[in-house]
Amino acid sequence: MKGMKKNIIFLTGLLFVFLFAMAAHVQAGEAEVKGRVLFISSYSYAWDAVQIQIEGIRAKIGPEIVMDYEFMDTKRVTGEEAEQLFYDGLAYRMSKVEPYDVVILGDDAAFLFAVKYREELFEGIPLVFEGVNDVELAVELAKDPLITGVVEQLSLEKNIDFGRQLFPDAEKVVAILDESITGNANRESFYACTEEYPDLEFCEINASALSSEELCQQIGAVEKDSIFIYIIMTEDASGKLYSDREAIKTIVDNAKVPAMRMVEASVGEGLLGGNMVSMYKSGEIVADMAVKIIQGADCSNIAVVDSPNVYCVDEQVMKKFGLDMSVLPEGTQIVNHQPDFWERNREVLLPGSILVGAMLVIILWVMFDNLRRRRLLGELEQARGIMESASLHDFLTGLPNRSKFMKDLEAAISKKVPCTIFMLDIDNFKHINDTYGHTAGDEALKQLADRLKAMHSNILMSYRFAGDEFIMLLKSNQGNMIEKTAYQSRQLFTKPFRLAGEDRKVCGSIGIATYPSDADDIEQLIVCADDAMYQVKKSGKNNFAYYSQI
């Protein structure tokens, strides 16, 4: 009887704990902030700085807040026509979705766009900017009760001072700039420093005014008595457009002196570093502002703040140019650090140091054996990785192959993830091979693959399917995302292909099918996309078609 009573008391206690936990969970769920945020970037997702911005924002935006993204891509397309096309697309998409509670604006072009079209697109919606270089304009516009944000304070003074510590004999400050909106804003700040440093000569390499060859020559001509700062380089006079990584590679491949940088992105790829704007922390700050506004805070009470800056250097670049690590400011973040023997084996050496005689021999033997095993395991893992990668990638284009596509699509469908596939086929590919040779055909395939790689994102992946057929997997069935990807796919063929030493027009047909609306299994979904693609072939080629509309 007593045992039964104890069991009843125990079960009652468990029930109480369960009910209490459920109540706490419900209350926590009710406390989740709900809202809608639109993030407009001046650039494209391909830029490392944009990805870091978004990571910082996502780290602070709650799971119940819906966040949409728009990219102006002003580093590649500018002018009134580009702005109007972006405006038209954005206006259409905004007319199809619920109103946004807050609009976050990344960098100057997006901020100026939002202010210009505020009445038409963002009437009554708080605007929170980030990474704006024109500080005076940002502060002035932020007098509006519905505008606030984070200005991008590129500290040229701190970087020049830092450069003088590293290069005490410096006589010049050389900056790489261009004539973009951001470049012009930074140029004004750059030359404003001349009064503070009268003993230094200030000069620039204007990428927009130089051909690709001239740009490389001027970068290579920067002398060792210079503090060299990469600020921005998005284009040159030859019409070449530079992604952030391409700009950095051009600088690193040609410069004879280390180049500093003021924005947190691609550090560790050959640049020295410097006093940098933390794009991640800036993203966290604007996300906090947006959440407060959604929770009911008055935007006018949220003050404009300066961007958080940190010192960061690449240890390998410091060593390459023989620079003294001891002069670095306290708290400097180090990338590409190569740990020394003590750092690698501290846990083994510390207890081993108290042993004597025979124990020392044993410890040394164990360390040697351990290192040997790790090396062997590393070599085996590397070989396995190479073999696995080779089995899942196309040798000619470097893209994932058909097997990888089938695995990825099967994984998405097994998890009931809505997705869309885009089947691409080069039009008249046999004619290319017959006319210009199979080498030219291979070049066409590789150039198309390179353009597809540039579209890769966390929800979009490209594959070589077979022959001259490529396929893209978009992990979304949202109409606006599908439409955007479809137009981007068609634009892959707008730029000429370089075949047999000459620019040639190459076209392609694209078929689109969506899971689960068009088909609910893998094979049928591929058939649907293929049918849509061949409908384009029959209708004149060089276009795209949705399976649901044929």
Architecture of domain 156-279+309-335: 3-Layer(aba) Sandwich (3.40)
Kindly state the tokens that stand for 235: 């284009």
Determine the pLDDT at residue 17: 41
Side chain identity, residue 377: L
Q: Are 334 and 313 in contact (CB under 8 A)?
A: yes
Tell which wins on pLDDT, 34 or 72. 72
Determine the pLDDT at residue 343: 66
Kindly state the tokens that stand for 449: 């693959």
Percent of the chain with pLDDT over 70: 89
**Upstream peptide bond of 516 is cis (omega within 30 degrees of 0):** yes
- Among 59, 181, 56, 35, smallest CA distance to 111 is for 181
Determine the pLDDT at residue 154: 75
Cα separation of 32 and 53, whole Å? Answer: 23
Domain 35-152+281-306, classified CATH 3.40.50.2300, yes or no: yes
| Strand ranges of the sheet holding 508-515, from the earlier edge strand across to the other edge | 460-466, 469-474, 419-426, 508-515, 544-546
| pLDDT mean across residues, the chain | 88
Which residue in the block uniquely carries the two structure tokens 């190569």?
338
Residue 69's beta-bridge partner residues?
A: 39
pLDDT of residue 63 exceeding 70: yes
Q: What is the Cβ-side half-sphere exposure of residue 353, based on CA atoms within 13 angstroms?
A: 6
Determine the pLDDT at residue 191: 93
Residue 466's beta-bridge partner residues?
A: 469
Q: State pLDDT tens for residues 141-166.
A: 999 999 999 998 778 899 999 999 99
Q: Which pLDDT band, with edges at 50, 70 and 90, does 27 fall under?
A: very low
Query: Distance between terminal CA atoms of the chain?
Result: 76
Determine the pLDDT at residue 178: 94
Determine the pLDDT at residue 133: 81
Sign of the dihedral defined by the CA atoms of residues 459, 461, 465, 471, in that order = positive
Identify the weakest region by mean pLDDT among 98-107, 153-162, 432-441.
Answer: 153-162
Write down the pTM of the prediction: 0.50
Question: 3-class SS at 71?
Answer: strand
Determine the pLDDT at residue 439: 92
> If phi over 0 gives left and psi between -120 and 50 gives alpha, with beta otherwise, what is residue 488?
alpha
Kindly state the tokens that stand for 385: 């990785």
Mean pLDDT within 329-335? 88
Q: State pLDDT tens for residues 113-144.
A: 999 999 999 999 999 999 888 888 999 999 99
Cα separation of 363 and 370, whole Å? Answer: 10
Q: State pLDDT tens for residues 188-242.
A: 889 999 999 999 999 999 999 999 999 999 999 999 999 999 999 989 999 898 8
* Superfamily per CATH, domain 402-549: Reverse transcriptase/Diguanylate cyclase domain (3.30.70.270)
Q: Which pLDDT band, with edges at 50, 70 and 90, does 245 fall under?
A: confident
Residue 426's beta-bridge partner residues?
A: 508
Q: Which pLDDT band, with edges at 50, 70 and 90, does 392 fall under?
A: confident
Mean pLDDT within 280-292? 94
10 Å CB burial of residue 86 (0-12, 13-18, 19+) is: buried
Q: Are 247 and 212 in contact (CB under 8 A)?
A: no
Kindly state the tokens that stand for 348: 């083994």
Question: 3-class SS at 508?
Answer: strand
